[in-house]
Structure 1
Amino acid sequence: MKKYIAFIDVINYRMGRIAMYGVFALVGILLWSSISKTFFLPSLWTLEMAQFTMVAYYILGGPYSIQMGSNVRMDLLYGGWRKHTRLWVDCITVFCLIFYLGVMLYGGWDSTSYSLMYGERSPTAWRPYLWPIKVIMCFGIFMMIMQCTSELFKDILRLRGEEV
Structure 2
Amino acid sequence: MKKGWKSMESLSQTPIYTQSKNTTIGESDKDWPHGEVRTVRKLLSSTVNTIDAISNWSGKVLALFLLVMIAITMYEVIARYVFSRPTTWALEATTMIFGTYMICSLAYSLLSKAHVSMDIFYSKWSDRTRAIVDLCTFPLVTIFIGLILWQSTVYGIESVQIREHAATVWSPPLYPWKMTIPFGMLLLLLQHISDFIRNLVLAITGEELQ
Q: How far has the Cα of 1:161 moved from its partner?
A: 2.7
Q: Percent identity?
A: 26
Q: Which amino acid aligns with 1:139?
A: F
Counterpart CA distance in 1 for 2:49 and 2:164 is 38
Write the distance in 2 (CA, Å) between the matches of 1:58 and 1:139: 12
Q: Which residue of 1 aligns with 2:131?
A: 87
User: Taking structure 1 as the reference length, what is the TM-score of the superposition?
Assistant: 0.93
Question: What is the alpha-carbon distance in structure 2 between the residues aligned to residue 80 and residue 161 of structure 1?
Answer: 17
Shift of 1:48: 0.7
Shift of the alpha carbon at 1:109?
0.5
Q: Secondary structure at the match of 1:81?
A: coil
Which stretches in structure 1 are left out of the alignment for 5+ residues? none
- State yes or no: 1:45 paired with 2:89: yes
Q: Could you say which residue in structure 2 is the equivalent of 1:118?
A: 162
Distance (whole Å) between structure 2 residues aligned to residue 104 and residue 123 of structure 1: 25
In the TM superposition, what is the alpha-carbon distance from 1:163 to its structure 2 partner?
3.3
> Could you say which structure has the larger radius of gyration?
2
Match of 1:2 in 2: 45
CA contact (8 A) 2:149 2:182 kept: yes
1:137 aligns with 2:181: yes
Q: CA deviation at 1:95?
A: 2.4
The one-character-per-residue Cα deviations of 1:67-94 (angstroms, maximum 9, x if unpaired) are 1111111112222223322111111213
CA distance in 2, matches of 1:53, 1:46: 10
Counterpart residue identity of residue 16, structure 1: G
Partners of 2:128 and 2:206 within 8 A in 1: no
Q: In structure 1, what is the Cα distance between the partners aligned to 2:85 and 2:159?
A: 31
1:32 aligns with 2:75: yes
State the match for 2:63 in structure 1: 20
Equivalent residue letter for 1:14: W
Q: CA deviation at 1:43?
A: 0.8
TM-score, length-scaled by structure 2: 0.74
Aligned length: 164
* Deviations 1:26-79 (CA, angstroms, capped at 9, x unpaired): 111111111121114211111110011111112222111111111111112222
Moved segments of 4+, more than 4 Å: none
Indicate the RMSD between aligned Cα atoms, in angstroms.
1.3
Question: Which has the larger displacement, 50-59 or 92-101?
Answer: 92-101
- Match for residue 4 of structure 2? none
Alpha-carbon separation, structure 1, partners of 2:154 and 2:104: 20
- Supply the distance in 2 between the matched residues of 1:128 and 1:77 (Cα, whole angstroms): 48
Equivalent residue, structure 1, for 2:114: 70
